[in-house]
Structure 1
């Protein structure tokens, strides 16, 4: 059972961080250069939001199960690996918050303006989310 939970956790972590990097590195620049229409950007943003919500929930439950099975409260605080797990939880929370605000900037601006304006307003949020995603991948690699 632990292997299945670990696999689900890893797959959704990879999808979420990878999706964040794709949106920040390809979708936002395409919208800003007018290569992506308003409707196309809306479609991608909505799909990415579904991935974000699903990943957030699955990572919460699967990560909680893994941490509760592998670690105790004491080992999370005293062991190096436990500290890395706590760092991942913090980064996971930051990523969810940053993407929430990035998505809001993107979709609220789309209802009022063009895809270029919406992508320009959302760009700093998605760049920040990319940095957090890379940090999560680095911590996961060390763990």
Structure 2
């Protein structure tokens, strides 16, 4: 493995952990406060803003590092014709879905937060953040299968 490959793998894992962890933290730790009205609009908006920033930066970092890794380890045939390739393609689809869910949920929450509300924005974003959390967990399972060499 080259130094560039090691940097790509390490960067990929760091941003994957940061992104999935942020989604799960906001869903489990921050969203319930908003649903109950136990958080003021400014800190809630800060958390939503950070979630959006982490999502956008991580999506870009994962695209670049994942593209590097896939370009060095796979061919079109091995991506489309092998169980490991299918796991990689599943991961790509899940990353896109995660980004979309977070962006839509964050946008819905920001609208209400701009009006200095908390409960309504939390309710508006809740289904998207719950779905994003499920996708984040599926991504971690997929990554574990790839890292462990498990093939079905």
TM over 0.5: yes
**Deviation digits for residues 38-92 of structure 1, max 9, x if unmatched?**
0111111111111111001000111011000110111001111111000000000
1:71 corresponds to which residue? Answer: 74
| Matched pairs, number | 143
**Deviation digits for residues 7-45 of structure 1, max 9, x if unmatched?**
000000011011101111111101111221101111111
Report the RMSD for the aligned CA atoms in angstroms: 0.9
Deviation at 1:112, TM superposition (A): 2.6
Distance of 2:54 and 2:116 partners within structure 1: 25
- Give structure 1 regions of 4+ aligned residues with deviation exceeding 6 angstroms: none
Asked whether 1:6 is paired with 2:9, we answer yes
Listed as ranges, the gaps of 5+ residues in structure 2 are: 147-152
Deviation at 1:6, TM superposition (A): 0.2
Q: What pairs up with 1:1-143 in 2 under 5 angstroms?
A: 1-143=4-146
Listed as ranges, the gaps of 5+ residues in structure 1 are: none
